[in-house]
Structure 1
Amino acid sequence: MASGTLLYAQSGGVTAVINATASAVIRTARAKRVRVLAARNGILGALREDLIDTSAEPAAAIRALAHTPGGAFGSCRYKLGALDADRPKYERLLEVLRAHDVRWFLYNGGNDSADTALKVSRLAAEFGYPLTCVGVPKTIDNDLAVTDACPGFGSAAKYTAVSVREAALDVAAMADTSTRVFIYEAMGRHAGWLAAAAGLAGQTPDEAPQVILLPERTFDEAAFLARVRQVVERVGWCVVVASEGIRDADGRFVAEAGGSDAFGHSQLGGVAAHLADRVKQALGFKVHWTLPDYLQRSARHIASATDWEQAQAVGAAAVEFALAGRNAVMPVIVRTTDAPYRWRIEAAPLARIANHEKSMPAGFIRRDGFGITGRARRYLEPLIRGEAPLPYGRDGLPKYVTLRNRTVPRRLPAWEG
């Protein structure tokens, strides 16, 4: 048995498969006789010394965790600043790790989490504390650098493409006497990956979604309204998919909810409602719109098999890397071929990932700016393939698991931060 404890924490918005990663982390560590603690509500749990003893969970519950959505140990949007600016918090974190003999720290999240893991590794080195820090990729936005895809994205992309295709059938059936335009708002602040995935719902320009609005292209209202009118005149109806992060020529978000979150990001939401109002006022069409919001990232019932497998693969690899002493790295997905789709896991330095953002390549966006190209399809299609197994009960609902989440006794004074 390796000497020491492994601490796992989840960060930011959860996904349909983040618990699959957690399950793989715990199962892999158990196979190597390593104790795993989980921080309740992410890095805040570590700072508060609110740590969950996963050894109290039976093996069956940990296996069931692999098909349960949400974040079993809780997550948080809480960003630690620079080492100098937030030094007391980093030192408190190190005190907690010392108190519980944590020698391996796995932080499951996006860009900000990779940055935090990197800073913790540097602080531990400064104090001479033997700690290996590994970032674990997760985000439905698919905007992490280096990795070919982010666990969580494939399932959200599948949900988006399926939902848009099904909604389009509804709109087509009702267009003669009712709704002519349907607008679907997809998550994506600076990168349009999720909105682009909606493009998989149709194969030709006349199939939905006929219009996709991406943050990588400046939003031109006049051009947008003209395109919607053209589609309705030609097809009889139009489905629009808009990323929440589209901006106008002045760089302002088209729809900004006001305020910002703990990471300093503007809170978005309402772009579909805004666009619907403009279409109605300018073109006179009856419009319906939807804001799937959390449904995009929680829809485990329609998870991608590819995504589910990759979520577990990065979790298992993270433990292997940590126990091998591969500090300040992240297990990333490397695509080796498109057809057949093949991939492998490699270690990438956190310094190449932290605070970097991967946007849609120009070659993935159609020249008119309203759709995706064949290159984008070749990239996206493998990520939504397959269905992940999910047990159902006699009530017709999925059988998910709720963990006991028993905490270990605190060994330090309460955190006053």
Structure 2
Amino acid sequence: MTAYNAFYAQSGGVTPVINASAAGVIQAASQHPDKINKVYAGEDGILGALFEELIDTSMESEADIEALKMTPSGAFGSCRYKLKSIEEQRAEYERLIDVFKAHDIRYFFYNGGGDSQDTAHKVSQLSDSMGYPITCVGVPKTIDNDLPFTDCSPGFGSVAKYVAISILEASMDVASMSSTSTKVFVMEVMGRHAGWIAAAAGLAADERGLGPDIILFPEVPFDEAAFLAKVAETVKNKGQCSIVVSEGAAYPDGRFLADSGVRDAFGHAQLGGVAPVVTGLIKASLGFKCHWAVCDYLQRAARHIGSKTDVEHAYALGHEAVELAVSGHNAVMPTIVRTSDEPYEWKLGKAPLAEVANVEEKMPTDYISEDGFFITEACRRYLAPLIQGEDYPSYRNGLPEYVVLKKYKVAKKLPAFTLTE
């Protein structure tokens, strides 16, 4: 049997554990030398294929590939570039096929969220229409936790852990100074349309009154009067108030509280910071001294306190993507299937890319409290296992020892390529 090469790429916003999935793909591929020769990684995601910027992962040491499990961000580079339909962007699709042909690539593994799974699905369709066989398998990833069919998305558990710890510690800080200083602390987290990350902050709340007092979800239309009344009541009863707000919090008419009017490469609204907006409302209406913080990139790069469960999910899904491909499965994405909450148990499944692409899994209504400002016990049962376990990286000179790959390039065989507008 002839062994062919594989193409792996990272897409969209990175996570604390996306490189664990990369390690899973590369190490699993090495176990099938009869079917997969080399794994070429695209530099900066799908752009690496279009520009023929291919990284030969076989040139990296086994130790460095293993160290990817402990390293955050995108080791091979990522991008926000969405392929449109084949009819609209045929030149890009033809270029992909040309590059794959030139480098004997027959396997395509795309590590990303819903938009990325859409790209993987389109490439699988391209394979059929252009007569060049490519086995396409998506590798799930998104801190937003909004992919369908999978119990959770790799990257989310570690971000959830970071957010819960951060609001726990910040709420203790506010409590210690509230009599003479800050009364309200607002922490902004990611989550455009789905409030999973904001919800995870609720795990920090306990019977001692720690953690957040109010959570603002994208799924709940923002009621300014009800919100301000809740803040005032909390400060009156506790002396202070800690708030977590999702970047996608929106008014009843759908306008984001922090819509900057700019769109990114995927056509999504570029959000300009909702924490200062919320803080401004509180100051103007209630007069409390407030502080705010935006987690931004910190939450999705915090591998130093990554969830062990999350790391295990990410690696297993990367590994399983290869197993599915070499077993003849095409246009699918491996998934996490929960079989038990307590103790938390899971297994691997799969879903068709055609049904995964561009679908957002939002928070169920029974996961949000009746007043719309907190999580329910059902939500806590779902979330709690995902932040369990510690998987600390090695440290050197007091800092995590993250790996930086050599990224040896494969010689180009084709003319230069320019993206279409």
Deviation per CA, 1:172-205: give whole Å up to 9, x if none: 0000000000000010000000000000011259
Cα distance in 2 between the residues matched to 1:68 and 1:206: 34
Deviation per CA, 1:201-233: give whole Å up to 9, x if none: 112594431100000000011111000000000
Cα distance in 2 between the residues matched to 1:109 and 1:388: 22
Deviation at 1:117, TM superposition (A): 0.5
Q: Secondary structure at the match of 1:31?
A: coil
TM-score between the two structures when normalised by the length of structure 2: 0.97
Cα distance in 2 between the residues matched to 1:353 and 1:205: 41
Specify whether residues 322 and 213 from structure 1 end up closer, same or farther in structure 2 by C-alpha distance, changes over 3 A only.
Answer: same
Which residue is 1:21 aligned to?
Answer: 21
Q: Which amino acid aligns with 2:379?
A: A
Structure 1 residue aligned with 2:211, among 200, 208, 212?
A: 208
Deviation per CA, 1:317-336: give whole Å up to 9, x if none: 00111111200000010001
State whether structure 2 residue 236 is matched by structure 1 residue 233: yes
Q: Which amino acid aligns with 1:416?
A: T
Deviation per CA, 1:146-182: give whole Å up to 9, x if none: 1110000000000000000000110000000000000
- Single out whichever of 175-184 and 343-352 deviates more from structure 2: 343-352
Deviation per CA, 1:102-142: give whole Å up to 9, x if none: 11000000001101111110111112211100010000000
Specify whether residues 205 and 356 from structure 1 end up closer, same or farther in structure 2 by C-alpha distance, changes over 3 A only.
Answer: farther
Is the contact made by 1:206 and 1:231 (CA closer than 8 Å) also made in structure 2?
A: no
Cα distance in 1 between the residues matched to 2:219 and 2:169: 26
- Two-structure CA RMSD over aligned residues (Å): 1.0
Cα distance in 2 between the residues matched to 1:64 and 1:2: 30
State whether structure 2 residue 399 is matched by structure 1 residue 397: yes
Deviation per CA, 1:331-378: give whole Å up to 9, x if none: 010001101100011111111100111000000000000000000000
Cα distance in 1 between the residues matched to 2:67 and 2:52: 27
Alignment of 1:332-347 (within 5 A): 332-347=335-350
| Displaced runs of 4 or more, over 6 A | none
Cα distance in 1 between the residues matched to 2:395 and 2:88: 49
Q: Which amino acid aligns with 1:363?
A: D
Tell me the percent identity: 58
Q: Which amino acid aligns with 1:408?
A: V
Alignment of 1:11-410 (within 5 A): 11-33=11-33, 34=36, 35-204=38-207, 206-393=209-396, 395-410=397-412
Which residue is 1:414 aligned to?
Answer: 416
Deviation per CA, 1:253-276: give whole Å up to 9, x if none: 011123110000000131100111
Cα distance in 1 between the residues matched to 2:93 and 2:163: 39
Cα distance in 1 between the residues matched to 2:300 and 2:87: 35
Is the contact made by 2:7 and 2:105 (CA closer than 8 Å) also made in structure 1?
A: yes
Deviation at 1:292, TM superposition (A): 1.0
Deviation at 1:31, TM superposition (A): 2.2
TM-score between the two structures when normalised by the length of structure 1: 0.98
Q: Which amino acid aligns with 1:211?
A: I
Cα distance in 1 between the residues matched to 2:281 and 2:93: 48
Cα distance in 1 between the residues matched to 2:357 and 2:23: 24
Deviation at 1:235, TM superposition (A): 0.5
Q: Secondary structure at the match of 1:294?
A: helix
Q: Which amino acid aligns with 2:369?
A: R
Is the contact made by 1:9 and 1:38 (CA closer than 8 Å) also made in structure 2?
A: yes
Is the contact made by 1:208 and 1:238 (CA closer than 8 Å) also made in structure 2?
A: no
Q: Which amino acid aligns with 1:112?
A: D
Cα distance in 2 between the residues matched to 1:388 and 1:185: 26
Q: Secondary structure at the match of 2:296?
A: coil
Aligned residues: 416
Cα distance in 2 between the residues matched to 1:79 and 1:205: 46
Question: Which 5+ residue runs of structure 1 have no aligned equivalent?
Answer: none
Q: Which amino acid aligns with 1:26?
A: I
Is the contact made by 2:20 and 2:314 (CA closer than 8 Å) also made in structure 1?
A: yes
Q: Which amino acid aligns with 2:398?
A: G
Cα distance in 2 between the residues matched to 1:128 and 1:255: 46
Q: Which amino acid aligns with 1:402?
A: V
Q: Which amino acid aligns with 1:114?
A: Q
Question: Which 5+ residue runs of structure 2 have no aligned equivalent?
Answer: none
Is the contact made by 1:2 and 1:32 (CA closer than 8 Å) also made in structure 2?
A: no
- Single out whichever of 197-206 and 55-64 deviates more from structure 2: 197-206
Cα distance in 2 between the residues matched to 1:204 and 1:27: 45
Cα distance in 1 between the residues matched to 2:8 and 2:2: 16
